[in-house]
Structure 1
């Protein structure tokens, strides 16, 4: 049984790949995190201040990796960029786009005013209201059911002439730290807002779109709401039922060795219950290329239940095949093996949980 615990931990390490994803030769699109101030100073960029206010989040679907969002975003830019936009016939609505739209035709993005508002210091400003169905680029459920969800609204410079290689238009977060970024309706059932952050990056699509030019990089700014569930609620909903089933399994060896049929029924019933519990849990998640933290606990529980069933078969046959004068000794041996199994399986549950948690 000790070998079972060690083997489970080693196997757990083996099935966790250090890196996932497609080979670089197949996927070249990438985003590189940058410091917008450095982008402006080193490359003589043109800064566009971007502010966001997320009024409402709803209709989250982890299986489809989508959610609905409503809110506002605003842009503020200098005269230099305004002249470039007028020269190229680009409106502020065309300057920046929301890139994680699920269906652009159904999204509503409307400017608050017909023309940009001129502000002091020869700067220009325009406010936009949006209502859109957005997708979640990255869903990290490795520590599920104690995961954190990152729900982003991704804004990116759109015109090719304003790329990093051309005019180097850089999106920078609104400098007014007093502005609220989240409204009272921005919440998802079952999750609380942990943090709100702005992430600046330079996005390369890895293609020249059929033109005889190099790859173009575009400035990107993501407003990300980091959501997390209540740990106690997640424990009671998902971990506690599993632990109760496993507690019944681990208490089964306490039954007298003569009760072979009853002993055999417990691990088989536990297996069916575990399968039902895991399928209920997986029904809320998308298809994943890796096992979650809770999946590893279920996998270990399956192993323990199957091993216990095999041991009960052996013990029943060993007891039934013993001569009457040696049945007492056979019972002592069976009880001794039972104690070793209980202690090893109980310890192994926490070892596997610790290894699975630390590995992610």
Structure 2
């Protein structure tokens, strides 16, 4: 009767575990929050834009520095027509001289450089009438509070150019918010460092139909010291967007929309550096799980201790790299790899206990056919465990990578 009772206990334990798993997944799903759909949007305009990006890398991970897809032919034609009718047109160029202090936990970065603008008589008349400088009506939208002087700092007064336009050079320095990074691909990550320029529409006259920015794609660029140690500079871009707010600011009518220039430098991690620093230690630790059944069967304590040691090491390793990242509402690629590692380690521990009990039963059996069959079965399990783990883990990791959303 003892074996029958034991089998019944094992069956009820498995049912209880499955029920607890279902209830846990159901409860977590009900507690999970959905994303608020009503947010601002950016749409590429018909203005000239610049992006330097290797095509093979784009095909590999889907990354683009641009915040939206290009407009269709009809939308492009209508937007270009509206741009020609705009009362105020401002050409904008940006040149980053220094980029530094990248902090993914916020996420933010520090930068300084130069920005220049040229504009026509209509805008200059508005500025003269209100005794303003252009820096009083143009802001850096994604600038954060910092010790540096906020906003743009004029370098000299506005100059009248031979073609009748006005030109002025500015410097900027500050800390800026990062809106895009491929955190899902971590540790093989690309991060976008943007400088976002937009009108501060205090008087309600600078909406998208009245004021349009034109990126100076020919003269904008990146300086000698715009790189960040430990990161590879991947691309830079500058483009005009239609920034549509999810509100009309209680003024009635359609949601407010403004012309916005986004200057962007994209950096990526070195794949080899990420492998040696984060992937290789995990591979070495998991190799111990592969070898757990190569320990002699009579050393049951040693067998059982290996998965426990590996589990504690996995927790420590994961916490180490998670400190580099902000709180994310999803699992990164490396998180998913660690989930696979946890499952494999748990299975190894369960099998160690189960096989240990079978070896104990084997010792009670007399020599004969039943003894040989059970001994061969246990030996086979010891032999196929490493191959099974390698095959299933490799397939699982590949599925995790290829199911990542492109560009995220």
What TM-score does the superposition give when structure 2 sets the normalisation length? 0.77
Instruction: Please list every run of 5 or more consecutive structure 1 residues that lacks an aligned counterpart in the other structure.
Output: 1-14
Alpha-carbon separation, structure 1, partners of 2:246 and 2:146: 22
Matched, 1:136 2:178: yes
In structure 2, the partner of 1:10 is: none
In structure 1, the partner of 2:393 is: 349
In structure 1, the partner of 2:25 is: none
Offset of residue 107 of structure 1: 3.3
Alpha-carbon separation, structure 1, partners of 2:319 and 2:391: 26
Alpha-carbon separation, structure 2, partners of 1:153 and 1:204: 18
Offset of residue 101 of structure 1: 1.0
Alpha-carbon separation, structure 2, partners of 1:328 and 1:261: 24
In structure 1, the partner of 2:270 is: 230
Matched, 1:75 2:113: no
User: Does the C-alpha gap of structure 1 residues 153 and 358 become closer, same or farther in structure 2, counting only changes over 3 Å?
Assistant: same
Matched, 1:56 2:67: no
Compare 251-260 and 35-44 and name the one that shifted more.
35-44
In structure 2, the partner of 1:7 is: none
Offset of residue 280 of structure 1: 0.3
Q: How does 1:205-244 map to 2 (within 5 A)?
A: 205-244=245-284
Aligned residues: 335
| Residue in structure 2 matching 1:35, options 25, 46, 58 | 46
Please give the per-residue CA displacement for 1:169-200, whole angstroms capped at 9, x wherever unaligned: 1112114x2x3622222122310211111132
- SS where residue 233 of structure 2 aligns? strand
Alpha-carbon separation, structure 2, partners of 1:273 and 1:328: 38
Whether the aligned pair in 1 keeps the contact of 2:93 and 2:220 (CA below 8 Å) is no
Whether the aligned pair in 2 keeps the contact of 1:253 and 1:335 (CA below 8 Å) is no
Offset of residue 87 of structure 1: 4.2
Alpha-carbon separation, structure 2, partners of 1:328 and 1:248: 29
In structure 2, the partner of 1:92 is: 134
User: Does the C-alpha gap of structure 1 residues 190 and 105 become closer, same or farther in structure 2, counting only changes over 3 Å?
Assistant: closer
Q: How does 1:277-296 map to 2 (within 5 A)?
A: 277-296=317-336
User: Does the C-alpha gap of structure 1 residues 343 and 105 become closer, same or farther in structure 2, counting only changes over 3 Å?
Assistant: closer
User: Does the C-alpha gap of structure 1 residues 40 and 120 become closer, same or farther in structure 2, counting only changes over 3 Å?
Assistant: farther
Whether the aligned pair in 1 keeps the contact of 2:99 and 2:112 (CA below 8 Å) is yes
In structure 1, the partner of 2:241 is: 201
Offset of residue 40 of structure 1: 4.0
In structure 2, the partner of 1:339 is: 383
Instruction: Please list every run of 5 or more consecutive structure 2 residues that lacks an aligned counterpart in the other structure.
Output: 1-27, 49-75
